[in-house]
Amino acid sequence: MIEQLNQLYEDFKAQLSEVADMQQLDNLKTHFLGKKSPMGNILRGLKDATPEQRKELGMKSNEIKNAMTNGIEEKREEMKKAEIDAKIASEWIDVTLNNTESQTAGLHPVSVVQYEIEDIFTSMGFTVLDGPHIETDHYNFEALNIPPDHPARDMQDTFYFENGAILRTHTSAIQVRGMEKIKPPFKVIGPGKVFRVERPDATHEAAFHQLEGMVVGEDINVAQLISTMKTLLSEIFKRDVDVRLRPGFFPFVEPGFELDIACQLCGGKGCSVCKHIGWIELMPCGMVHPNVLRSGGIDPEKYSGFAFGLGLDRLVMMRYKIEDIRNLHSGDLRFSGQFV
């Protein structure tokens, strides 16, 4: 029987080397290790052997049975690895290849306009500042003349963290941080993303982009504010744009104004974007409140200034005649690809 076991193992190894798929491997296992297999017949014949033969044959049978079992499992793992390698090879994509059929990447339209505006302002002597998205109550509200009980806080639905920090509701906080580091006279702008609890519609989103600026020096006045804003808009739209100033309340400026531009989608005739009034509210502005200057360590008796806030997303909508602000935040490459 020892010879039978050795021959059986040789036959097993020969057939194992020819196995090409999992089905053949399972059939091989059943043939050599199943209940009706030659190994099974040999093990059932042990009852007729002498005790000495039974001991020797039992040890040899277990040795060969374990060798067959291990061989089958090793073959199974080898075949699984080969299957994975083949799949990887067939689905491999070389991301470094220049596939002319793929969509060309490019800047988002908000980024395009933001960089253009930064260039316009830097050409007028402004410095570009940045600040964190997560702000403290001091920089976002109190330093801007908005104490805890001020009704202006009701105008800005704010995202709060459990530790009292907030997602900034405007980029005005960048101006406060700038005043702490820069001494007048100065001209600064602070672009970035801001967050408010808004119900999304054609002109509102919970996350959107602003660009706010501040000019501080001696004898700064409203005429300089209007001149700066008109210069900006004419550079952006490459033509003169009709604007109007309305009185507006903002705690950080006094007096405060709303600067509107004629709707560029309907030419001022009225549409869903401008709510059928022909004008788009674009740029709150005004003369910097003395309390804000004091919060930044600046003497309001010596210096004055103006500040403005520009809705970048709304400006992009006017620039490219986009009817719904939600398209800007959709992440849809079919939309963004139009501006490449």
Coil/strand/helix, residue 325:
helix
Q: In this structure, are residues 307 and 237 in contact, taking their beta carbons and an 8 Å threshold?
A: no
Query: Which of 313, 314, 323, 120 shows the shortest CA–CA distance to 209?
Result: 313
Query: Which residue carries 């049978």 as its tokens?
Result: 61
Backbone angles phi, psi at 62, to 5 degrees: -65, -40
Query: Which of 192, 163, 199 shows the shortest CA–CA distance to 177?
Result: 192
Low-confidence stretches of the chain (pLDDT beneath 70): 1, 43, 45-47, 94-105, 155, 340
Specify the pLDDT at position 188.
Answer: 96
Question: At CA 222, angle to CA 295 and CA 273, rounded to 5?
Answer: 95
Specify the pLDDT at position 264.
Answer: 81
DSSP per position, 220-271:
--HHHHHHHHHHHHHHHHTS---EEEEE---TTEEEEEEEEEE-TTTTTS--
Q: For residue 330, with 0-12 CB atoms within 10 Å meaning exposed, 13-18 middle and 19 or more buried, which class applies?
A: exposed
Query: Which of 260, 258, 263, 253 shows the shortest CA–CA distance to 288?
Result: 253
- The kind and range of the H/E element at 211 are strand 207-217
Specify the pLDDT at position 97.
Answer: 61
Which tokens belong to 257?
């104004």
Which residues have C-beta within 8 Å of that of residue 242, sequence separation ≥ 6? Answer: 261, 262, 268
Query: Which residue carries 């040789």 as its tokens?
Result: 10
Task: Say how many CA atoms lie within 13 Å of 190 toward its Cβ.
Answer: 24
Query: Which of 246, 247, 277 shows the shortest CA–CA distance to 262?
Result: 277
Q: In this structure, are residues 184 and 297 in contact, taking their beta carbons and an 8 Å threshold?
A: no
Which residues have C-beta within 8 Å of that of residue 132, sequence separation ≥ 6? Answer: 168
Specify the pLDDT at position 131.
Answer: 94
Q: How far apart are CA 256 and CA 246, in angstroms?
A: 9
Q: In this structure, are residues 308 and 230 in contact, taking their beta carbons and an 8 Å threshold?
A: no
Which tokens belong to 52?
């000495």
Question: What's the 3-state SS for 150-200?
Answer: CHHHHHCCCCECCCCCEECCCCHHHHHHHHHHCCCCEEEEEEEEEECCCCC
Q: In this structure, are residues 198 and 325 in contact, taking their beta carbons and an 8 Å threshold?
A: no
How far, in whole angstroms, is CA 254 from its chain's centroid?
37
Long-range contacts of 269-272 (CB under 8 A, 24+ apart): 272/202, 272/323
Lay out the sheet containing 207-217: strands in order across. 127-128, 186-195, 207-217, 304-311, 279-288, 253-262, 243-247
Specify the pLDDT at position 129.
Answer: 95
Specify the pLDDT at position 267.
Answer: 81
Amino acid at 148: P
Q: What's the chain's Rg over C-alpha atoms?
A: 38
